[in-house]
Amino acid sequence: MLYLHNANFIDGRSGKITLASSVFTAATGWANCKTGESAFGPTYWRAYFAFDTSAVPAEAEITSVSFLVVKRRSQPYGDPQYYVCKFSIGEFIGTTLDGDAGEWNGGTLAATIYAKPTGGQLISLGSVGIAAIVPGGQTDVRVWDDSTQGTGDFSWGVDFNQTFSKCQLRIVYSMPSAELVGQGLTEAAGNLEAAGSATITGEGVCSCAANVEAVGAATATGEGVLDGGGLVERLGAATATGEGVLEGGGLVERLGAATAIGEGILEGGAVLEIVGVATLIAEGLLAVAGVIYIPPWAQHSATRSVAASHVASRAVAVDVRTIDCSELTEGTRNARRLTG
């Protein structure tokens, strides 16, 4: 799939540099993007565009780069005898358009035309333009007049940009992808690496897979057995789905979300690490996932002495006395023990 990115230039870093009497002078802003010459002096001026290419992915495979010409409705008077306009591209404008010799000659020549550019014209910058794009950064273009006056007028030029319509750098690119499909047996796979998307699909057995790495999307799907998986690493999203057995899994690491779903057996899992959200669902058996350590109970043992029982004696007194029974009638009275 091809993608088109229309890069706009950074107004505060774009404009023109004028060379007159060996002195460079810079002027920034979209209204100053112009190129041309004057025989009086002589004086030369060149247009500079600092395009924002930060939205181009670092993994992009660029297929074409073109400069879109937007001209002002009113143009300078005059034409040389031999008209030449050149386009150079590179990375040579800093945080400001300084107006020095380095910027005056900046970039690598990518295209030359021999007639004044027309509004809406796309100037292909070819392989030089493709190699010069700075993904995630800034890419600069210098448009400069290299005409010969000859029998022509004393002054001429081209003024770029309108208030609501400005020149652009058009970049066409694709994202890389890799796919490995097998219905039988895949063994000892070494490395499948893709900046875009990577897919491994197998109905049989995928054994001893070493590394599946992708900046885009990574998917490992199997109806049989995935054995001895090494590393599944993904900055975007990682999914491992299997109806059979996942054994000896090494590392599933994810900064965003990681999901491991299996209806069979997950054994010997080493590490499941996730900064965002992690889900582990299994309808079968989850065994020996890392180490679960519980400190053993400690039993306290000690000896306590027991004192011997106290033994003592106490005297018991017995009160003995005589009772006169002469006045008692017939009968018997039992003696009574008196205690004192």
pLDDT at 264 over 90: no
pLDDT at 292 over 50: no
pLDDT tens readout for residues 305-322: 545 445 555 554 545 455
User: Strand pairing partners for 85?
Assistant: 113, 145
pTM: 0.57
pLDDT tens readout for residues 197-245: 555 555 555 454 555 454 555 454 555 554 555 544 445 454 545 555 4
d(CA 247, CA 207): 10
Mean pLDDT, range 265-270, rounded to an integer: 47
Domain 2-174 has CATH 2.60.120.230: yes
pLDDT at 105 over 80: yes
SS3 call for 15: strand
Q: Are the C-beta atoms of 238 and 217 separated by less than 8 Å?
A: no
Q: Which is more confidently placed, 54 or 300?
A: 54
SS3 call for 101: helix
pLDDT confidence of 141, banded at 50, 70, 90? very high
Residue 338: name the closest of 323, 325, 321, 324 by CA. Answer: 321
Map out the domains of the chain as residue ranges.
Answer: 2-174, 177-287
pLDDT at 156 over 60: yes
pLDDT for the residue numbered 190: 58
Mean pLDDT, range 164-175, rounded to an integer: 97
Residue 156: name the closest of 39, 29, 28, 27 by CA. Answer: 39
pLDDT confidence of 72, banded at 50, 70, 90? very high
